[in-house]
Amino acid sequence: MSRLFRASTVFSTVVCLVLSAFAAVAPAQSSASLDKHSRKIYNKLANYPSGKYLHLVLINAPDAYGALGTLSASSFTFSDAESNKTATFRYSDVDRIKTDRQTIGKGSEPRRIKHLVPIAITAAAVAAGALTYQAMK
């Protein structure tokens, strides 16, 4: 039994050493080579699906409107809404990312009216209660 225990311990030690050597030699992730601002832009873009309509505020160029394409290690593709041409931007070229809230189709009506409904119901209930109280006096 102790011989089997020693063999499995030796085997697991060898496996651990091989895996740690592989981890030391393996290349780092691509986003680690980016600066802080570029990583922030990469992480924001990674949250959006491909084809999402975005407004890019660029550092040294006019703003761009269009659909997000594929993401790579240091850049991403972007389909311009005006010319319908695909452009490649580096993450460091982008200052901010905006999503324009205007949408077309079902569900595009203003949402602030929905917030007023509970307030109107509460106000009507309070007014009815006050009228009932005054009538009981």
Q: Summarize pLDDT for 36-49 with one digit per residue, the tens.
A: 999 999 999 999 88
Total residue count of the chain as it appears in this document: 137
Contact 95, 59 (CB under 8 A): yes
Main-chain dihedrals φ then ψ at residue 13, nearest 5 degrees: -65, -45
Q: What is the pTM of this model?
A: 0.51
pLDDT band at 110 (very low <50, low <70, confident <90, very high): low
pLDDT, the chain, mean? 77
Q: What is the domain partition of the chain in residue ranges?
A: 33-101
Q: Which residues of 14-40 are buried (b: 16+ CB within 10 A; e: fewer)?
A: eeeeeeeeeeeeeeeeeeeebeeebee
- Cα angle vertex 105, ends 103, 107, to 5°? 80
* Dist. CA 41–CA 4, nearest whole Å: 53
Architecture of domain 33-101: Roll (2.30)
Q: Between the CA of residue 58 and those of 20, 32, 93, 121, what are the distances in Å?
A: 42, 22, 6, 46
Task: Give the confidence band of 105 by pLDDT, cuts at 50, 70, 90.
Answer: low
**Which residue type, as a one-letter code, is found at position 40?**
K
